[in-house]
């Protein structure tokens, strides 16, 4: 699975930047400076092991276990470690809970900071100029694009990840989920719910 080593066969010709990326990898591999399997390992880590399923497991637990929820909101790092999660870009995790009168939204206006160990690598929109520019100045217009309409009584709290703190939104448990298991509940929690651009739905 190594780019730059002739394994890729695209229908279309490679772009200049793709060629350059493959050349950089090939160069570092040829000199023995970067190992192809280390690159593969990083890619596979975030494609297979680490992704929104981790964050969803945290939220699912918080929905069924009030004591866990309290620990999560009080000390994010310790609480996610209970479920085996943590690492780079969740060095200082703060979980923020939605309520009937508070909706939380996460952004990084300066960069693309994001809690990798819980959500994987961020979607393109999270890293793009429109979201970075608008989330802090017109959050309701942004939420509307995602199909989320909130009542005027809801205070929107936009968290700009300007330092080394990373945020996880704990959405409200939807009505009608009383009989569901922790696993079934976690399946309702999409990535966007934990960034604040979606609400969990049955």
Partner 1 sequence: MRRVDGVHDMGGMHGFGPVVETGGELPYREPWEPRVFAIQMLISAEGLGAGPGGRATREEMDPAHYLAASYYERWLYSAEQRLLRRGTIAPGDVEAMVVRLEAGETMPPHADAAMAERILDELRTAHPMGPAPAQGAFSPGQRVRVRRMHPQGHTRCPRYVRGAVGVVEAVRGVDRLPDRATYGEKIQPEPVYSVSFSSEELWGAGQEPAFTVLLDLWASYMEPA
Shortest Cβ distance from residue 109 to partner 1 (Å)? 4
Give the residue with the Cβ less far from partner 1, 122 or 171: 122
Which residue number, 101 or 179, has a Cβ lying nearer to partner 1? Answer: 101
Q: How far is the CB of 83 from partner 1 (least distance, A)?
A: 14
HEC sequence for the chain: CCCCCCCCCCCCCCCHHHHHHHHHHHHHHHCCCCCHHHHHHHHHHHHHHCCHHHHHHHHHHHHHCHHHHHHHHHCHHHHHHHCCCCCCCCCEEEEEECECCEEEEEECCCCCCCCHHHHCCCCHHHHCHHHHHHCCCCHHHHHHHCCCCCCCCCEEEEEECCCCEEEEEECCCCCCCCCCCHHHHHCCCCHHHHHCCCCCCC
Q: State the nearest-atom distance from the C-beta of 176 to partner 1, in Å.
A: 26
Q: Which two tokens stand for residue 125?
A: 């929109």
Comparing CB distances to partner 1, the nearer of 47 and 70 is: 47
Catalytic entry in 15, 78, 111, 162: 111
Note if 111 is an active site residue: yes
Residue among 13 and 179 whose Cβ is closer to partner 1: 13
Closest CA to 77 of 58, 99, 61: 58
Residue 112 is a catalytic residue: yes
| Residue pair 70/79 in contact by the 8 Å Cβ criterion | no
Among residues 30 and 184, whose Cβ is nearest to partner 1? 30
| Active site residues per annotation | 108, 111-113
């Amino acid at each position: 699975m190594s780019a730059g080593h002739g394994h890729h066969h695209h229908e279309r010709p490679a772009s200049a930047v793709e060629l350059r990326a493959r050349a950089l990898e090939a160069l570092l591999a040829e000199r023995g400076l970067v190992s192809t399997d280390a690159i593969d390992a990083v890619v596979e880590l975030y494609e297979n092991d680490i992704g929104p399923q981790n964050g969803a497991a945290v939220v699912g637990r918080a929905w069924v276990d009030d004591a866990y929820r309290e620990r999560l909101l009080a000390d994010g790092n310790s609480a996610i470690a209970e479920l085996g999660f943590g690492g780079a870009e969740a060095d200082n995790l703060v979980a923020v809970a939605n309520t009937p009168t508070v909706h939380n939204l996460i952004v990084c206006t300066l960069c693309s900071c994001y809690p990798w160990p819980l959500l994987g690598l961020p979607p393109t929109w999270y890293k793009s100029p429109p979201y970075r520019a608008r989330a802090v100045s017109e959050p309701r217009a942004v939420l509307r694009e995602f199909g989320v309409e909130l009542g005027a009584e809801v205070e929107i709290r936009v968290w700009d990840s300007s330092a080394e703190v990373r945020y996880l939104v704990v959405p409200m448990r939807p009505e009608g989920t009383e009989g569901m298991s922790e696993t079934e509940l976690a399946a309702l929690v999409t990535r966007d719910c934990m960034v604040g651009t979606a609400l969990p739905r049955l």
